Amino acid sequence: MTRKKLAPASKKNDPLLANIIEQNIHTIVNIRQTAASRRTREERLADSITTFSGRMNFVYFHIVWFGTWISMNLGLFGMQPFDPFPFGLLTMIVSLEAIFLATFVLISQNRLSAEADRRTDLNLQMGLLTEHELTRALKMLDAIQDKLGIENDTDQELHDLEKDVDPKDVLKEMDRIQRRVKQLKK
């Protein structure tokens, strides 16, 4: 199999990225579109409200609303106040709004967290598969060297890379080192 050499990107018809990168980008976009299409009606509503409330227009709307409410209830427009200072009705409405907004944000965050966990699991699976494949490839190269009578490299790091790695062992070692670091900070 020969590799395609990418020419400099100066020509108009030459792709800027390798085909595999473009395929990966399309895969990522498709995964995100599929996840978005699987949202329930309630999740879409929560996402819409969260998106709107996370913009400056939401802040501007509240500035106008609060300013108008307070001005009207201070009698600045010559109106009879319907919610006099300390604005109990306004306080109750704002409190209810905060409760609902917090709930909508949590719904959206829970969904996004589940999607991130799924992508993390996929990333871990691909990393474990890659590690296994590389270990097998190194062992195969050693076997080829042996078959051809080529002396194997005596580099200890290379020898270590040829060992199968159990993710549980790696996690245990990470935990051990983190505990040691915490103890040193005390």
Give me the tens of pLDDT residue by residue for the chain, a chain 186 residues long.
444 444 444 445 666 778 888 898 898 899 889 989 999 999 999 999 999 999 999 999 999 999 999 999 999 988 899 999 999 999 999 999 999 999 999 999 999 999 999 989 989 889 989 998 999 998 898 889 889 988 877 778 877 888 888 888 888 888 899 999 989 888
Number of CB atoms found within 10 A of residue 14's CB: 10
pLDDT at residue number 13: 62
71 three-state secondary structure: helix
Assess whether the previous peptide bond of 81 is cis (omega < 30° from 0): no
Q: What distance in Å separates the CA atoms of residue 140 and residue 148, rounded to the nearest whole number?
A: 12
Q: Which helix (H) or strand (E) is 169 found in, with range?
A: helix 167-185
Give the CA radius of gyration of the chain: 30
